[in-house]
A and B are shown apart, each in its own frame.
Chain A
Amino acid sequence: MYPIISLSVTGLLTLFLGFSENKKIVFPASIAFLLIALATAFIDWNAPGFYFNDMLQVNNTSIVFWAILIISAILIMGFSEGFERFEFAQPAEYFAIVQFSLVGAIMMVSFKNLIMLFLGIEILSVAMYVLTGADKRNIRGNEAALKYFLMGAFATGILLFGMAMFYGATGTFNIGSGVFIGGDNSFFLWIGCTFMLIGMLFKVAAAPFHLWTPDVYEGAPTIFTAYMSTIVKTAGFVALFKVLSTTFSGLQDFWWIMIAVLVTLSLMIGNIGAVSQNSFKRLMAYSSISHAGFMLLALLGDHENALGSIMFYSVVYTLATISAFGVLMVVSKERIEKGRVYEQNDLFKGLAQNNGFLATVLIIAMLSLAGIPLTGGFWGKFFVFRDAASSGLFWVIIMAVLMSAIAIYYYFKPVLLSMSKKTSLESITINPLAKFIFAITTFGTIVLGIFPWILRSLF
C-alpha cells in the first residue's frame, strides 16, 4: 500500500524538480525516491491484509514482488546516469514516468479487484508507450512507440471485453471471492477467461501475441527495453498467476490446453526466431518471448510451487537481462553509426580483449539466460520444469528441453564474438555506478546458481 502512495507523491515531486535550473539533481533524487518507496514497502511486512474495500491485497509475497520490482527499477535507472548532459533531454519527465509506471506494476502484483488489475496494466502500458518513443529523434523509436500503442490498445480492448464478460457471468470484479466452474453462465465465463488471458498474454509477449516484441524492443532506447523486458514481464506474470490461481483455478480443465499450446508456440517462435538475428536487441526480444514460454510452464504446475518458481525465474531473468542490456548500453555508447546507435551482435567482437570485466558480465548473463548450471538461470529452468513435471505434461517439457538446446546456440553467439580477437580496439569507459550494478547482477546470478535456496526459501 505505502509504496503506491510514496511513488505517486514522489513522481509528482520529480515533475516539480524539472523546474529547477540544476538538472543534475533529478537523477540522485529519483534514486532516493525509489529507495524510499523500497523502504516503505516493508512497513506492511508480516501484516497481511486487504485495503480499500478489498481493492488491494497485501501480504509478504506481494511485498517480495514489490521489492523485486523496485530494486529492478533502481538497477536499470542506474544506467541513466549522465542522462542530463544532453541539453534536449527532459530528465524530470522520464524519471517521473518511471515512478508512476511502478505504481502500475505494484498494482498488478497486489490487486484483489479486476479494476485494479486493469488500471495497473494501463498505467504500466501507457508509461511504456511513452518511454518507447522517448528518443524522439530516432524515427524507429517513434515507429515502435506508435506500433506498441496501437497493438497495446487492441489488447487492452480484448482484456476489457473479457473483464466485462466475467462481470456479466459472476456479478463481481473481486478475484477469489468464489470459484466458478461454469453452470448457466459458463459461456460468458469462458469468453471472459479467454479474453482476459489473451489481453494479459499480450503484455508478457507470449506467442502468438508476440509480434510487437522484436520491433518495439529494437526501436525503444535500450534502457527502456531493459525496463520493458524485466518489470513488465515480472508484473505481468504475477498478475496472470493471481488470476489463474484464484478465480480461474476451477476452470483449469478449460484453460490448461490453451496455455500448453501457447507455451509450445512461444518456445518455438522465441528460440527458433532468435537463431538468425543479427541485432542484439532483436535477439533479446526473441529470447524474451521464449522466456515467457518458460515462465508460462510454471503456471501449468500445481499452484503451491508456481509462484515461487515464477519469482525465482523472474529474478534470475531480470538480473541476466539487466547485465546484458547494460553491457550493450556501455559498449554501444561510443559507437554511433549513421546517427543511430550501433546495436548489432558484432559490437561485442573482441570485448574480452578490450575490457575483461564487461566480457565476464556479458558471458555470465548469457550463460544464465541459456540455463547453464552454476548460474541462476539453470535453477530457474529447473524449478519450472519440475513444476510442469508435477502436472505430467511431459510432451511440453520435452519440447522445452529441445528448445533450450537451440537457445544455447544463439546465446553463445555474443559470447563467442566477445572472445574473438580484434585488431583495432576503441576504449570503453564505465562509470563507477554502472560497474557497481554489474557487480550486483553478476554476483547475484552466480550466488543464485550455487545457493538457489536463499531465494527459494522465501515462500
Chain B
Amino acid sequence: METLETIKNLTMTQWSFYAVSVLTLFGALGTILSKNPIHSVIYLIMTFFSLSAHYVLLNAQFLAAVNIVVYAGAIMVLFLFVVMFLNIKDEAPELDNNKIVIGASIVGGTIGVILVAAIRLTESQKIDPSTYQIKTGFIETLGQLLYSKYLLPFELVSVLFLIAMSGAVMLGRKEKGERNF
C-alpha cells in the first residue's frame, strides 16, 4: 500500500522521469535482444530519443537537441544505410552460445547490483531551487565555458577529429594488390 501511496504522490516531473526511464531501458534491451539488425538500429534510435528527453528533464536543452540531431539523426541513419547495404539480415549470427549469454547476464547483473547498491548508499546532493541558475545547460553558458575555461580541450578535439577523418580516408581508400590472409 505504501508503494501505491508513493506513486499517487509523484509530481509531474517524477512521472515523466519514470516514464522516460522505462522507455530508455526498453529501447536498450530491444537493441541487444532483437535478432534483426534493422530492428536493433530502430530500438537504438528510440533509446537516443528517450535519453534526449532525460537531458531536457535535466535542463540541458542544447545537449538534447545535439543528441537528436547528431546521434539519432546522422549517425543512426548512417548505421541503417550500412546495415541495409551489407544486407546482413539473413546471416545475422545466432547467439548460439548459451554459455556466453548466461555468463554475460550474470556478470552484467553483478556489476549492475554493485553500482545500484553503491549509488543507493550515497547521499545524493539536492539542488536548492532558490539559488539554481536557470541558465545552466543553455547553449550560451556552454559556449562561454567552451571558449574560456575549456578552450584548449575544445581546440584539441579537432586533432582527434582530424585523426579520425584522415584515418577513415586512409583506410577507406581502395588499394591495389592482393588481399592476404
Are A and B in contact, CB atoms below 8 Å, in the complex? yes
Give residues in A with beta carbon < 8 Å to B: 4, 8, 11-12, 15, 51-53, 55-56, 87-88, 90, 93-94, 96-97, 100-101, 103-104, 107, 113, 115-116, 119, 122-123, 126-127, 129-130, 133-134, 136-140, 145, 184-188, 190-191, 338-340
Contacting residues of chain B (111-130) with chain A, CB-CB under 8 angstroms:
115, 118-119, 121-123
CA distance A103 to B175 in the complex (A): 29
Interchain CB contact under 8 A, A115 and B153 = yes
Cβ–Cβ contact A137 & B171, under 8 A: no
Given contacts A12-B162, A90-B173, A188-B119, 20 further A-B contacts (CB under 8 A): A15-B166, A52-B151, A52-B152, A53-B148, A97-B163, A97-B170, A101-B163, A103-B156, A113-B153, A116-B152, A116-B156, A126-B160, A126-B164, A127-B167, A137-B180, A185-B123, A186-B122, A187-B119, A188-B122, A339-B181
Residues of A within 8 A of B159 (CB): 8, 11, 100, 103-104, 123
> What is the predominant secondary structure among interface residues of chain A facing chain B?
helix
Q: Is the CB of B160 within 8 A of A123?
A: yes
Residues of B within 8 A of A94 (CB): 170
Q: Which residues of A contact B170 (CB under 8 A)?
A: 90, 93-94, 97, 130, 134
Cβ-closest chain B residue relative to A183? B123
B169 touching A4, Cβ below 8 Å = no
Cβ contacts under 8 Å, B171 to chain A:
130, 133, 136, 145
Q: List 21 interface pairs A-B (beta carbons < 8 Å), by A numbering.
A: A8-B156, A15-B166, A53-B150, A53-B151, A55-B152, A56-B152, A94-B170, A127-B167, A130-B171, A134-B170, A136-B175, A137-B179, A139-B179, A139-B180, A145-B171, A185-B122, A187-B118, A187-B119, A191-B118, A338-B180, A340-B181
Q: Determine the main DSSP class of B at the interface with A.
A: helix
What is the CB-to-nearest-CB distance from A46 to chain B, in angstroms, rounded to a whole number?
A: 23
**B93 on the A face (CB < 8 A):** no
Which of the listed residues B149, B153, B175, B176 has the most CB atoms from chain A within 10 Å of its own CB? B153
Name the one of B123, B151, B181 contacting A140, with C-beta atoms under 8 angstroms: B181
A208, chain B: closest CB distance, angstroms: 13
Identify the 4 closest CB pairs spanning chains A and B, nearest first. A130-B167, A339-B180, A52-B152, A187-B118
User: Within 8 Å CB of B164, what residues of A?
Assistant: 126
State how many angstroms separate the Cβ of A336 from the closest Cβ of chain B. Answer: 9
Complex CA–CA separation, A15 to B169 (angstroms): 12
Residue pair A107, B166 in contact (C-beta under 8 Å): no
Given A88-B176, A119-B153, A139-B180, verify A97-B167 contact (CB < 8 Å). Answer: yes
Chain B residues with CB below 8 A from A56, complex form: 152
**B177 interface residue, CB < 8 Å from A?**
yes
Chain B residues near A (Cβ < 8 Å)? 115, 118-119, 121-123, 148-153, 156-157, 159-160, 162-164, 166-167, 169-171, 173, 175-181
* Residue numbers in B under 8 Å from A122 (CB-CB): 160
Query: Which of A100, A137, A140 is close to B163, meaning CB atoms less than 8 Å apart?
Result: A100
A368 to B28, CA, bound (A): 50
Residues of B within 8 A of A185 (CB): 122-123
Q: Please give me the residue from chain A that is nearest to B149 by CB atom.
A: A53
Is the Cβ of A107 less than 8 Å from the Cβ of B156? yes
Q: Is the CB of B153 within 8 A of A116?
A: yes
Identify the interface centre among B150, B167, B171, B173: most chain A CB within 10 Å of its CB.
Answer: B167
Interchain CB contact under 8 A, A187 and B178 = no
Q: Is the CB of B166 within 8 A of A137?
A: no
B163, A123: Cβ atoms closer than 8 Å: yes
Alpha-carbon gap, A93 to B173, bound state (A): 12
Q: Is the CB of A137 within 8 A of B175?
A: yes
CA A96 – CA B163 in complex, angstroms? Answer: 8
Contact yes or no, A127 B163, CB < 8 A: yes
The residues of B that contact A87 with a CB separation of less than 8 Å are: 176
**CA distance in complex: A126, B163 (Å):** 7
Contact across chains for A190 and B118 when beta carbons are under 8 A apart? yes
- Which one of B121, B160, B163, B166 contacts A187 once the chains associate, using CB atoms below 8 Å? B121
In the assembled complex, the CB of A154 is this many whole angstroms from the nearest CB of chain B, namely 13
Min C-beta distance of A423 to chain B, whole Å? 29
A188 CB to nearest chain B CB (Å): 6
* Chain A hits for B118, CB < 8 A: 187-188, 190-191
Give bound CA distance, A97 to B171, whole Å: 12
Complex formed: what's the CA distance from A4 to B121 in Å?
Answer: 43
A327, chain B: closest CB distance, angstroms: 23
Q: Whole-angstrom distance from the CB of A424 to the nearest CB of chain B?
A: 25
Distance in angstroms from A173 CB to nearest chain B CB is 9
Which of A93, A104, A115, A145 contacts B150, CB < 8 Å? Answer: A115
Please tell me if the beta carbons of B180 and A119 are within 8 angstroms of each other in the complex. Answer: no
User: Contacts of B152 on A, CB cut-off 8 Å?
Assistant: 51-53, 55-56, 116
Residues from chain A with a CB closer than 8 A to the CB of B178 are 137, 339
Tell me, in angstroms, the Cα distance from A185 to B124 when the chains sit together. 8
Question: Which residues on B sit within 8 Å (CB–CB) of A338?
Answer: 180-181
- Residues from chain B with Cβ under 8 Å of A55 in the complex: 150, 152-153
Which residue of A is nearest B114, CB measured?
A: A191
